[in-house]
Amino acid sequence: MLVTKISVVAALGALAAFTSPSEAFTAPSCVGFGRSVAAQSAVGRIPKLGLSHATKAPLAAAPRAQKSGVTGCSMAGYNIDLTGKVAFVAGVADASGYGWAIAKQLANAGCTIIVGTWPPVMTLFERGLKKGFGEDGMLDNGEQMKIEKIYPLDAMFSTPDEVDEATKSNKRYAGLEGYDIKSCAEKVKADYGKVDFLIHSLANGPEVTKPLLETSRNGYLAASSASAYSMISMLQHFGPLMPEGGSAISLTYIASERVVPGYGGGMSSAKAQLESDTKVLSWEAGRMYGIRVNTISAGPLASRAAVAIKKGGAGERNYIDYCIDYNIANTPLPKPLYADDVGKTALALCSDLTTAVTGTCQYVDNGMHAMGLTVDSGSFKEYIDKQGGVPWDGWKPDVGAKRLAGKE
């Protein structure tokens, strides 16, 4: 099992969204905190709630791992050793998404990886694992990443009694049982006894291509159920399995805060719910189980699910292709976003580098969340050029240095 060594600076560099730089680079002196300390707090734990988840060239696909330089977490320095830890990653069905990237980085640190996969694509995923996912499946030590076990999981159902007859009789669910969240948690408990890290990489909006004004009630509620409530349900059922000091992480998107045309069907609302719930869950799960709850607001990635959204676009270009190009053109760091950027941030949030970090939304989007005006339209180009500001077509160190020095 590979034990990852990562420098403090490298790990916490992924957490640039911290409020205070001094806090971001202060290494904690201990892992977690004792139950006795929390119990002696004047506030104490909450009552038991009975809680039972810019380039101009077209970019056809977002890269999932940087091809040059230091990869993964192989830098010497701070030792992140997750040997003996168990991570349950919900929503993994291939090697193209953020869930896989998070699992890979945790595996690099020695963590045991188990996943929850949507039943209709479970067989396909198992076949892919047997064939191998090539470079996407390789750990930093050259070994193939190992998924210890795959559990069928349909996060639309919290308990067995919620599973409808149509689903039970669906041939894509044939031969499977116990795929509701509660049953899945019970199986994980029987197999591993605990879950140190809970990763919620789930989202679904059946009407995502529809504007909000055209979204039906059922479509809106389905998006909220699958993308937001599922996190609540997962913490209800997996929380009791999580040792103190554990970490729960979900994935969100900037459309929760800003208007992103084309991201419809109530998905923007669902992500806003997820972010709000993250704060409340950090309080409740923190006091009840002593665990941290955070969400990562990731930039667009050409994952299997995202590529399936084929609204508009010429030729083979999908909606996500335009989103990726737009972000590269307008972010403070005009470069591609890699899935491993999110994976390494999640690794830091699961490690003892961030034992005091909870209830936060960590942006991993090359700074897109900070932008108020975009630059690719050229509306302000003349003004910026006359003011001698940052080069309009992307940051060029040599030109930028001259301008800052007043030599140009």
- How far, in Å, are 375, 392, 397, 408 from residue 382 at the CA level? 11, 10, 21, 16
Question: Range of 178's domain?
Answer: 4-377
Task: Indicate if 156 and 136 belong to the same structural domain.
Answer: yes
Q: What is the CATH number of the domain that holds 8?
A: 3.40.50.720
Find out whether 272 and 250 touch, Cβ atoms under 8 Å. no
pLDDT at 294: 99
pLDDT at 197: 99
CA atoms of 153 and 90, how far apart (whole Å): 8
Task: Indicate if 267 and 403 belong to the same structural domain.
Answer: no
pLDDT at 301: 79
Task: Indicate if 72 and 207 belong to the same structural domain.
Answer: yes
pLDDT at 37: 31
Task: Indicate if 307 and 405 belong to the same structural domain.
Answer: no
**pLDDT tens series, the chain, 408 aa:** 454 444 443 444 444 433 333 333 233 333 333 333 333 333 334 444 433 333 333 333 445 555 433 334 544 467 899 999 999 999 999 998 899 999 999 999 999 999 999 999 999 999 999 888 888 999 999 999 999 999 999 999 999 999 999 999 999 999 999 999 999 999 999 999 999 999 999 999 999 989 999 999 999 999 999 999 999 999 999 999 999 999 999 999 999 999 998 899 999 999 999 999 999 999 999 999 999 999 999 988 766 666 656 655 455 777 888 888 888 888 899 888 999 999 999 999 999 999 999 999 999 999 999 998 887 776 766 666 665 555 555 555 454 445 555 555
CA atoms of 362 and 254, how far apart (whole Å): 11
User: Is 170 in a helix, a strand, or coil?
Assistant: coil
Catalytic residue among 151, 173, 229, 253: 253
Task: Indicate if 287 and 393 belong to the same structural domain.
Answer: no
Catalytic residue among 98, 151, 229, 263: 263
The contacts of residue 364 (CB under 8 Å, 6+ apart) are 14, 17, 296, 297, 298, 299, 337, 341, 342, 345
Task: Indicate if 263 and 241 belong to the same structural domain.
Answer: yes
Task: Indicate if 357 and 389 belong to the same structural domain.
Answer: no
CA atoms of 340 and 68, how far apart (whole Å): 13
Task: Tell me, yes or no, if 192 is annotated catalytic.
Answer: no
pLDDT at 246: 98
Task: Indicate if 400 and 260 belong to the same structural domain.
Answer: no
Task: Tell me, yes or no, if 289 is annotated catalytic.
Answer: no
Domain count, the chain: 2
Task: Indicate if 233 and 341 belong to the same structural domain.
Answer: yes
CA atoms of 205 and 265, how far apart (whole Å): 6
* pTM of the model as a whole: 0.77
Find out whether 146 and 106 touch, Cβ atoms under 8 Å. no
pLDDT at 67: 42
Task: Indicate if 403 and 348 belong to the same structural domain.
Answer: no
Task: Indicate if 236 and 157 belong to the same structural domain.
Answer: yes
